[in-house]
Structure formats: structure tokens, C-alpha cells
Amino acid sequence: MGRYVIRRLLQMIPVFIGTTFIIFAMVHALGDPVNALFGDKAPSPAVAAQIRDSLGLNDPLWVQYLHYMKGIFTGDLGTTFSGQQVTALLASAYPTTLKLTAVAFTIEVVLGIGLGLLSGLRRGKSVDTLVMVMTLIVISIPVFVIGYVLQYLFGVKWGITNATVGYGAPIGDLILPGFVLASVSLAYVARLTRTTVAENSKADYVRTATAKGLPRWRVVTHHLLRNSLIPVITFLGTDLGALMGGALVTERIFNIQGVGYWLYQGILRQNTPTVVGFVTILVVVYLLANLLVDLLYAVLDPRIRYA
Amino acid sequence: MSTAVSARAKTGDTEEAPLLQVRDLHVEFRTRDGVAKAVNGVNYSVRAGETLAILGESGSGKSVSSQAVMGILDSPPGFVTGGEIMFKGRDLLKLSNEERRKVRGAQMAMVFQDALSSLNPVHTVGTQLGEMYRVHKGSSRKDAKLKAIELMERVGIPGAKERVNQYPHQFSGGMRQRVMIAMALALEPDLIIADEPTTALDVTVQAQVMELLGDLQREYNMGLILITHDLGVVADVADKIAVMYAGRIVETAPVHELYARPAHPYTRGLLDSIPRLDQKGQELYAIKGLPPNLLRIPSGCAFNPRCPMAQDICRSEVPPLHAVTEQDGRALPGRGSACHFWKETLHG
């Protein structure tokens, strides 16, 4: 187990280098960041050359990359072209996004598994049909449509919540955006749970549990659900990273100044340090979440052994 | 029907009320293709300390009838549509779900065929055994575990103290079946239903498991229903046999009499299809045809399309379970045959 964790952590190094380099190169390929910095108004060539020189943009790509990596390992993710420390940006943006993701993830887990269990246990009944139709609708509509519609209905028309998220991103304000962010994943979780519950409810060990005279609720939670959740947890783990990345759209809609907001700004202004910095952290979070899921997998299913 | 009743009366159940008495049990499965009549008026009884073997092919209704007794029928699509299941003086079919649940596991327990799939893969053996005490007796976690170890030792699992924390997949097939038996035994039920308990096991292990079941049954004076398709398994253990075909009992007899002198053409066919050493080199006998489709059970005797003795009456009239007698009219206690030509089958 310990060796497995160490090996997995070591595997992260090439993945980390690979992803950062790809992002670095892609942002570089977008075009000249100095021009982007000035927007519509073209800078004078002399000024542009000076900025380029001071930011080291005249060096070959790999030199720039090495330079950047050296910075990362000394805790310096660089500065944006406007002079802000990327680390400071990260520190202000990530907590907000983490909070949003946590809200979304909770909604996804509770509602997704709950609805899936309900519909899996009552297969073919009206509850099941309702859940199936609703989830299909949610999956087929783009997130930004759901987002704007719900924002309009709840935030503007009925005034139940704030239409946008206020300063400091209080939890109350994050429930609606969290729901929007979770919506598609929630639908997938519900469907996946339904399938595995329906499948496992015919399993021999569930019949054994009933034959033992266990109350229905215990049969469902201890025997049926416990086994059915194994594939669901796998999905949830990989989805955690996707949620943080997917927050980009939701954050735009609800004006949340989180990772998505800054990433969007960074790409718009071709700001390499910002983009690479934010994506790097996303990658690390994603890798760690995956590792966590794989470890959890062994806890849930004792037949799995790590070698 | 009157002959059917008299046949049952002669089994000796009148002396004292049997532990379990199933009367005229009907079970059907309502599927998309129609109603499959899985059990069509089954009668049997088991007394304390007695072993009843129910013999039949797949689809004969032997498992379904016992699932109905246990109350674990997959419903829907399965429904008990008629009959009585008298257990210790109560009709189980009239109990509420909650009352029924308390009977399951505590007073009657079931041993399933494939212990690997019948045990939950994600819980330790100890947890699954201990669950019986936790739920039915409200024992603490610690007590339940101690009881589980005791049980495992009881059914002959070596190293129970260590193995109690292992998972089902870490056990061999025979040991897993012992765990299943231990689980059934946990609350010392009055009746154990074993549904093909040895089918998934090696022949040598089969004998051990059957022996264990037999020993435990004697020790606790339990009633045992042994469901099987294997004539060899039951010979040494069972007291009496009920042969099922297409949802009906076609023959009942004390075990050795059935082997010596079958009174139903189907039973005879089954016995003739056992390979025998003295018939080496000859072609093995097989009952022609296939078991009937339960959606369309043949009219009259369900066995008639496959029966070498079938006459017109077999296609029109369902034979009741006749009380079987000797040629001179002497009663044969416990014997019955649902064949119009039982006399010819037994004596001719």
C-alpha cells in the first residue's frame, strides 16, 4: 500500500512536467502576448520590444519553460503582465472555487446518489421514469443555458436568491451556482447509481441478506448500496477535477471571481504565467483526487489489491 | 383431490403437528410473455429432525416453492397466488412483512447454492455472520464477533480467530459453503432450507458438506429441506423424497423405497439415466424431450409428451397424487404417485 502510494506520487512527476509544458507551449502558440496586452491599440514597436525583452519573451520556448519551472520550485509562479503575483491571485481565487466545488460536489453526491437509489429500487415505476426524463433533459441542455435560465428565474424573476455571488462568496449565494455546476454530473451520477442498484438488487448476496431476516433498510444500505457505489465513486473522483475546470462557465454566469474567472482573463490576455499557474494547480488537484479515489476503491472493494 | 389428502394423511403427520406444512401452494411469475405457473398446488410437510429432499430439474419449481416458504420470492414478478404455509402453527402467508422478517433467519434459515456469489464480497465473513446477532438479538459488535468465531469453529473452519476478519473471496469453495451453513445455523433455527448446497463443490467436498449438514441437523433436531437435482446427494441424508415436475409433486416416498421401486415414469426415467458401472459400454438412457415451458404447460399430466406410457387420459386429466399400495392392497406409508398408471409403473 505504502509502496503503491509512493509509486503513484512518482508517476505524477512526468505527468506534471508534460501538462505544464503543453499548456506553456499552447499559450505561447496563441500569438504575441504583448500585442494582446495593449488590446486594440497597437503599441509602438520600441515599447513592445522593451516589454518583450524584460519578460524574456525573446528566448527560445524551452528556455522560457525552464526559467518558469525554476520559478515554480522556488515557490514563484511568476507575475502577470500587470504586475500581480500569480501566487497571490491563486490564493484569492482558489478558496472561492474550492468553496463552489464543495457545494456542487455535495449536491452532486447527495442528490445524484439519492435519486439514483430511489429510481433503481423502483424500476419501471413513475418515480423512475420521472428521474430518467429529468436527467436526460439536464444532460442534453448546455450548462450555460441551464445557468442563465435558473439565474433569471431564481435570482431575477422570483428573487429567491441573489442573481450573482457577492463579495467573499458566502455559502448561501453559492447554492444556485453550485447546483448549476453540478447539474450534468448529478444527472450522470443518478443514472449510473440507478443502473448499478438495479443490477445488484438481483444479486445473490442481496437475496441472502433478505433471507437472513435483515430489515429492508439495512439490506439496501449495508448490502445493496455499498456494492453499487463502487463504480459511482470512481466517477465522482474523476469528476471532482472536471467540476473545478467546469466552474469556468458557471463562474462567468454568476460573476464569481474564482479560478474560472482568472483563467478566462489569462487566456484572453495571453498571459502565460496566469494560465500555466492556474492549470498546473488544477492538474495537481486532479491527480491527487484520482489517487484518493483509487485508494478509496480498495477500502470499498476488498477484492482489489495494489501491487 | 380426496386421494391426495389421504396420501398425505398416511405419512404419519397426524400424530403431531409437523413443523412445516405446505398446503396447495401456488406460485406464478407474471412476465411480459405471459403468466408462468411455477408452482401448481404443492403439498409437503417436514417434522423436527426430519429431512425432506425435493428433487427436480431446473424449472420444476423446487427452488421457487422453497423461496415462497422463506418469503424471499422476487416479487414482482413472482407471486404466491394460493395455499397455506403453516410453520409452527402459524400461516406464514397471513403474517405482516415485519412479522415474516423476524421469522426469517431466526426460525427458518436458508443455505444457498453458490456461496461465493451468495456472500457479500465487501464485508468480512465475521461481519456477515455477526450481523445475525446484531440485527436479531441486538448484540454488541464485540459479542457478535465472538459468536461468529464460535460459529465458524462449530462448522469446522480451522483458524477461525484469524479467518473471521477475512473476506469471502479468501476462502475455498468448501470453506465458503461452511460459512453459509454457519450463517444459517447462527440463531439455531427450527428449519433449514438448503438449496442445492453442494452443486458448486468438488465431489469430495460435497460429501463433507452433506455430512456436516446431517450432523448439525441431528444435533439441533432441526427440520431440513434439501433441494437438489442430484439423486446421489440425497440418498444417504434424506428421510423422504418429493419429486417435482412442472410445478407439481409427482411422487413422494421414503428415500430408499423410491430408489428401489419408483411409482412414477418420470422418477423411473431419472433413475435410469444415472450412469451405472454394470452398464459400461452401453448407451446411457435419457428421458426424451425437454421440460415443459411453464408459460404453456401441457394439458393433463405435464409429463405426458415425454412419457413412454402416455395414453389418452394422460393428455386430458391431471392425475392427483394417488396413495400407493402393494399389489395386495397393503398400504405403503408415505408413498404417493401422481400418475394414472402408478400400478403398472410400480408393479408391472
All domains of chain A in start order, with CATH? 2-73 (no CATH), 87-300 (1.10.3720.10)
Q: What pLDDT shows up at residue B14?
A: 47
Handedness of CA A11, A12, A14, A19 (dihedral sign): positive
* B307 at A interface, C-beta within 8 A: no
Q: What pLDDT shows up at residue A67?
A: 82
Structure confidence by residue, pLDDT tens digits, A102-123: 999 999 999 999 999 999 998 8
Give the DSSP letter string of A18-79: HHHHHHHHHHHHT--HHHHHHTTSPPPHHHHHHHHHHTTTTS-HHHHHHHHHHHHHTT---B
Distance separating alpha carbons of residues B287 and B294, to the nearest angstrom: 18
* B117 at A interface, C-beta within 8 A: yes
Structure confidence by residue, pLDDT tens digits, B189-240: 999 999 988 887 888 888 888 888 888 899 999 999 999 888 877 877 889 9
Q: Verify whether the Cβ–Cβ distance B131 to A202 is below 8 Å.
A: no
Residues in a beta bridge with B30: B35
Name the nearest CA neighbour of B258 among B336, B173, B152, B156: B336
Contacts of B169 in chain A (CB under 8 A): 302-303
Average pLDDT rounded to a whole number, residues A282-298: 82
Name the nearest CA neighbour of B318 among B302, B294, B306, B337: B302
Distances (CA, A) of A24 to A66, A70, A259, B95, B316: 11, 14, 18, 71, 86
What number is the ipTM of this complex?
0.85
Distance separating alpha carbons of residues B26 and B81, to the nearest angstrom: 5
Structure confidence by residue, pLDDT tens digits, B165-198: 999 999 998 899 999 999 998 999 999 999 988 8
* B131 at A interface, C-beta within 8 A: yes
Rounded to the nearest integer, the mean pLDDT of chain B is 87
Name which of A51-60, A179-188, A197-206 the model is least confident about. A51-60
The CA distance from B44 to the nearest CA of chain A, in Å, is 21
SS3 content of chain A, % helix, strand, coil (to 5): 80, 0, 20
Q: Which three cell numbers stand for residue B46?
A: 417436514
- Collapsed DSSP state (helix, strand, coil) of residue A254: coil
* CB half-sphere exposure, A213, CA atoms < 13 A: 27
* A200 at B interface, C-beta within 8 A: no
Q: Give the B window 150-179 contacts with A, CB below 8 Å.
A: 167, 169
Q: Verify whether the Cβ–Cβ distance B105 to A202 is below 8 Å.
A: no
* A303 at B interface, C-beta within 8 A: yes
